A and B are shown apart, each in its own frame.
Chain A
């Protein structure tokens, strides 16, 4: 019972917060799917932050933590009901899909079949390997044990003596796991597995529902189906690593920017949520800090190019408001608890400068990047080749291709790739081994966001099959 409760509270907190901030003033159930999947991921992130703050303030006392979350839940519910009662007439019409023609039954049938297959794969993987993959038990779950078992010594988790386990890594996943154990009252391998599964579900759901809202139901189902058909996504999702939660927050940030641009004009509440999602990405893994910097810089570059820097400033003001609370927590953690990062510590040293000047490292990293891109995903055949063929066959959607936030999203993802590339150039470990053990996971972090951009840019099946497409709507890739 307490296990169910521990996983029911975060999405409820997320849902109430999102409903409060949702720009459309339609009924609560409007856009229920996209709200629910955003609520699932953001709610888990918020609960992780609350648990961390609670640990800093009151550990070893565990009594009362559930009461804090319950109070937050009740508070949000009271505020929301007050807001709904005082809203009166609906100033904004409910947001709806851009195009939502009838979808052939085959598409939802295939999507749900894939979803069930993925769920079975999750269960099989959990039975075989309940402690998760190597990094799960050696980093994330081990840190959760330190927090849960450590009492007033819980900060031993960040000891420099554990440098092999990267004690500076952010705490979203370990704090969530420890929080679940606190609710249950004991350690159980079900909690980290559920955290992992819920983030994977939220990622598939958010990708599918956001593309549905922006481009129509069949496009949304195809996007979700492609992600479910990427075995690496399922494999990493079952491994209990932090890459899938990170990919969720990347996706949420980019989707919320797009929703803001496309659907709302008179307020910027989606950007508040985007700021929060970007902050939570940095609370998940250090790569999130690079993402945070990239998204702010690329939006600036794009807006300056189209001479809309005032729009950028207004956007960033709201974005920063959503970001600030999470960023404060990260800054506190990084400056007060976590030891220095091993990669950053080596920057500027003679060896890292020598690595930067070593052209053979660029050649090797470039070669492995290209090979990974070509065979990414562990699918039945190359998903990269498949998507290129799909774009060629269905054509590009003229409306979407040049909107500033799509360009900014592509530039953000490109900047992350460049950042990852240079991280490998200076990495203080054996290069080929580092590439072979981590590159596919880094690509996977970007994969749901890339699929979002892809399915926003490519024609929907309905557009591509129109008897008389208007000029400019069928430009081939």
Chain B
């Protein structure tokens, strides 16, 4: 009988210990994250598009051009940037193509070689100064 009692008590104590330790471990990880507190990157990223949003139509489809590949979300660093651009500009639909009347350029902090858009038959409408640009297709 004592064995049953001891076994049951051991089980309950183990379960409680597991829960508390897991919880504490998780909490400490969250609290002592070396990056914490940092301003969230998505909000920062979104702010880059504030000027652009004011002059684009409220809905419809716009193209997208970047110096980074966004074909494969597993490997291409540009995928997150493309998705974040869509997140920032919704309900406008952003597609990864230069074959639209309006095309958004998203070039991060890198210097932009004009060939990157002239090769796509695009005319620069505006440079927002933070790597974000707006182009118009020369042949609609």
Contacts and interface: CB of A to CB of B under 8 A. Distances in A.
A130 B22 contact: no
A6 to B, nearest CB: 21
B90 A114 contact: no
A26 interface: no
Given A383-B18, A386-B14, A464 B26 contact: no
Contact of B20 (A113, A137, A165, A230): A113
A394 interface: yes
B51 to A, nearest CB: 18
Contacts of B20: 110, 113-114, 229
Contacts of B125: none
B87 A230 contact: no
A125 B40 CA distance: 11
B93 A156 contact: yes
B11 A389 contact: yes
B33 A461 contact: no
A161 B91 contact: no
Nearest to B70: A164
A117 B24 CA distance: 7
Contacts of B111: none
Contacts of B54: none
Interface string B26-42: 11001101011110101
A381 B18 contact: yes
B95 interface: yes
Contacts of A151: 58-59, 91
A467 B2 CA distance: 8
Contact of A124 (B19, B31, B87): B31
Contact of A229 (B5, B18, B38, B73): B18
B30 to A, nearest CB: 4
Given A141-B87, A142-B90, A461-B8, A380 B18 contact: yes
Nearest to A154: B91
Given A117-B27, A151-B58, A156-B93, A229 B19 contact: yes
Is chain A's binding surface mostly helix, strand, loop or mixed?
helix
Contacts of A430: 74
A130 B36 CA distance: 13
A390 B73 CA distance: 42
Interface stretch (A220-228, A260-268, A279-287, A363-371): A220-228
Interface in A118-157: 118, 120-121, 124-125, 127-131, 134, 137-138, 141-142, 145-146, 149-151, 153-154, 156-157
A131 B18 CA distance: 31
Contact of A162 (B4, B35, B73, B86): B86
A393 interface: yes
Contacts of A142: 86-87, 90
B26 A231 contact: yes
B91 A146 contact: yes
Contacts of B37: 127-128
Contact of B95 (A145, A161, A392, A393): A161
Contacts of B9: 461, 465
Interface size on A, as a range, is 35 or more
B91 A145 contact: yes
A161 B11 contact: no
Contacts of A117: 23-24, 26-27
Given A128-B33, A137-B42, A393-B10, A226 B15 contact: yes
A230 B30 CA distance: 15
B63 to A, nearest CB: 11
B1 interface: yes
B116 interface: no
A372 interface: no
Contacts of B30: 120-121, 124-125, 128
A293 interface: no
B77 interface: no
B128 interface: no
B23 A118 contact: yes
Interface in A370-390: 377-381, 383, 386, 389-390
B66 to A, nearest CB: 15
Contact of B90 (A145, A386, A389, A392): A145
The interface centre, meaning the residue of A134, A142, A151, A393 with most chain B CB atoms within 10 A of its CB, is A393
B12 A222 contact: yes
B112 interface: no
B56 interface: no
Interface in A218-242: 222, 225-226, 228-231, 234-235
22 contacts: A106-B16, A110-B16, A114-B19, A121-B26, A137-B84, A142-B87, A145-B91, A161-B95, A162-B93, A165-B83, A231-B25, A234-B23, A234-B26, A235-B26, A379-B22, A389-B14, A394-B7, A433-B74, A461-B11, A461-B12, A464-B11, A468-B1
Interface of A: 106-107, 110, 113-114, 117-118, 120-121, 124-125, 127-131, 134, 137-138, 141-142, 145-146, 149-151, 153-154, 156-157, 159, 161-162, 164-165, 222, 225-226, 228-231, 234-235, 377-381, 383, 386, 389-390, 392-394, 430, 433, 459, 461, 464-465, 467-469, 474
Given A117-B23, A159-B93, A234-B26, 6 more contacts: A120-B30, A128-B35, A138-B83, A142-B87, A156-B59, A231-B26
